């Protein structure tokens, strides 16, 4: 079977959920090889194997960790030229997209970004215009290099024992033009990361103030979920931008999405419409969010949420 490369995205010594999703997708296309660019491949090997990687290309060393992404793109481009894979999957993250763009230019190869599916003929599916249009595209020059949108599919394990091959890291002076001078890991709160959480509780303009967002946080904490926000809530200064859900924010696909005081604009839906179960609380029975919700409560969130929280506490 053809070899498919999956570029690993990891955080704090573990592959991110999007990596497991890409491994799952790659298994439908061929033999899965994970590519670790920087960090320690050994720490990730078990988990990559659990999701079907039969081989790991380990490009490690200070040079990859000490500079920005240019070096990673150089190493990946050289690997692609050497192994001629059937496809290359890279996460649609800020870093992933930058690596993918640089690699495509280096190899004079086409690139598809933000795909949610890729078939064996190299045809990728992209969801555009806030989810209203589905586009099928194919790279017309070179092999399919694609960035995969997080939360596009459910990762499933398929245990394998991967072999590890060290990859030579030889960076050029051009790759070293921007150096990392400091890394600060933000203090991780008790809440799960928004894009990876299985429960998300989001607040919109209807929450009314930054102070009132404590109500959203309280419900999220009772459910063990992450907190999200609509753009109107973010623009009003109620909650930081990094928690925005939607077209210009994060895409989430949890088991449960709770929308509090959110009208359900198309740009918000774009970031949460694939959630498994959606609960909406809105005082306007005509709010568009109810077209999407599996369960809707027409009511004042300042009455409904404390009552719901009380019930959850009783059952804990
Ligand atoms: P509103 O539309 O004002 O809705 C507030 C809701 O709260 C209303 O339905 C109201 O009935 C309800 N409410 C008020 N008080 C209460 C109460 N006490 N109890 C219960 N319900 C109450 N939006 C995003 O969210 N994410 C994006 O990424 C995003 N990207 C965008 C990109 C572009 C290019 C553009 C043009 C827009 C984008 N938007 C995005 C904005 C989007 O169009 C909407 O303006 C926004 O989603 C509205 O947020 P909201 O639902 O919180 O506010």
Mean pLDDT, the chain, whole residue set = 94
Q: Work out the average pLDDT over 125-138.
A: 86
Query: What confidence tens digit (pLDDT) does each residue in 16-30 have?
Result: 999 999 999 999 999
pTM for the structure as a whole: 0.81
Residue 229 burial by Cβ neighbours in a 10 Å radius (0-12, 13-18, 19+)? buried
Retrieve residue 158's tokens. Answer: 């398929």
Total count of residues recorded for the chain = 316
Retrieve residue 291's tokens. Answer: 């077209």
Q: Which residue has the higher pLDDT, 221 or 11?
A: 221
Residue 204 alpha carbon, nearest atom of ligand 1: 52
User: Is the minimum distance from the CB of 74 to ligand 1 under 6 angstroms?
Assistant: no
User: Is the minimum distance from the CB of 216 to ligand 1 under 6 angstroms?
Assistant: no
The confidence score (pLDDT) of residue 313 equals: 96
Region of residue 221 (phi > 0: left; psi between -120 and 50: alpha; otherwise: beta): alpha
Among 35, 25, 15, smallest CA distance to 82 is for 35
> From the CA of 207, how far away is ligand 1's center (Å)?
11
CA distances from 138 to 52, 115, 130, 207 (A): 25, 11, 21, 43
CA distances from 43 to 27, 193, 230, 256, 302 (A): 22, 21, 36, 31, 46
User: Is the minimum distance from the CB of 231 to ligand 1 under 6 angstroms?
Assistant: yes
Atom 26 (ligand 1) nearest CA: 246
User: Is the minimum distance from the CB of 304 to ligand 1 under 6 angstroms?
Assistant: no
pLDDT(1) > 80: no
CA distances from 172 to 62, 80, 99, 158, 167 (A): 14, 18, 16, 38, 16
> From the CA of 126, how far away is ligand 1's center (Å)?
25
Please report which confidence band the pLDDT of residue 186 belongs to, taking 50, 70 and 90 as the band edges.
low
pLDDT(187) > 70: no
pLDDT(113) > 90: yes
Atom 17 (ligand 1) nearest CA: 300
d(CA 220, CA 241): 18
Query: What confidence tens digit (pLDDT) does each residue in 36-45 have?
Result: 999 999 999 9
Retrieve residue 33's tokens. Answer: 């090889």
Residue 289 alpha carbon, nearest atom of ligand 1: 9
Region of residue 176 (phi > 0: left; psi between -120 and 50: alpha; otherwise: beta): alpha
Query: What confidence tens digit (pLDDT) does each residue in 219-258 have?
Result: 999 999 999 999 999 999 999 999 999 999 998 989 999 9
DSSP 8-class letter at 273: T
User: Is the minimum distance from the CB of 220 to ligand 1 under 6 angstroms?
Assistant: no
Count CB-CB contacts under 10 A for residue 62.
9
Count CB-CB contacts under 10 A for residue 298.
14
> From the CA of 204, how far away is ligand 1's center (Å)?
6
The confidence score (pLDDT) of residue 151 equals: 83
User: Is the minimum distance from the CB of 249 to ligand 1 under 6 angstroms?
Assistant: yes
Count CB-CB contacts under 10 A for residue 134.
12
Tell which one of 228, 239, 247 to mutate to probe ligand 1, the residue whose CB is within 8 A of the most ligand atoms: 247
Reported ipTM: 0.99
Please report which confidence band the pLDDT of residue 111 belongs to, taking 50, 70 and 90 as the band edges.
very high
Q: Are 155 and 21 in contact (CB under 8 A)?
A: yes
């Amino acid at each position: 079977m053809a070899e498919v490369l999956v570029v690993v995205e990891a955080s704090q010594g573990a592959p991110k959920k999007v990596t497991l999703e890409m491994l799952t997708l790659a298994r439908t296309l061929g033999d899965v090889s994970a590519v670790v660019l920087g960090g320690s491949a050994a720490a990730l090997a078990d988990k990559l194997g659990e999701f079907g990687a039969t081989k790991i290309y380990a490009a490690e060393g200070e040079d990859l960790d000490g500079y920005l992404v240019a070096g990673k793109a150089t190493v990946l481009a050289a690997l692609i030229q050497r192994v001629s894979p059937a496809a290359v999957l890279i996460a649609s993250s800020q870093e992933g997209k930058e690596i993918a763009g640089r690699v495509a230019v280096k190899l004079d190869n086409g690139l598809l970004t933000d795909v949610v599916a890729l078939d064996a003929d190299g045809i990728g599916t992209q969801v555009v215009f806030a989810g209203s249009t589905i586009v099928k595209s194919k790279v017309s020059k070179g092999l399919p290099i694609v960035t995969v949108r997080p939360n596009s599919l459910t990762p499933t394990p398929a245990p394998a024992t991967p072999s590890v091959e060290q990859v030579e890291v030889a960076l050029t002076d051009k790759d070293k033009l921007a150096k990392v001078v400091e890394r600060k890991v933000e203090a991780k709160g008790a809440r799960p990361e928004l894009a990876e959480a299985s429960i998300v509780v989001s607040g919109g303009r209807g929450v009314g103030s930054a102070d009132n967002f404590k109500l959203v946080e309280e419900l999220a904490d009772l459910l063990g979920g992450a907190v999200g926000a609509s753009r109107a809530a973010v623009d009003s200064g109620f909650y930081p931008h990094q928690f925005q859900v939607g077209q210009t924010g994060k895409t989430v696909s949890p088991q449960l999405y709770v929308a509090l005081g959110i009208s359900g604009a198309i740009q918000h839906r774009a970031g949460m419409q694939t959630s498994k179960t959606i609960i909406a609380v809105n005082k306007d029975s005509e709010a568009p969010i109810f077209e999407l919700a599996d369960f809707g409560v027409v009511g004042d969130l300042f009455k409904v949420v404390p009552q719901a929280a009380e019930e959850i506490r009783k059952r804990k």
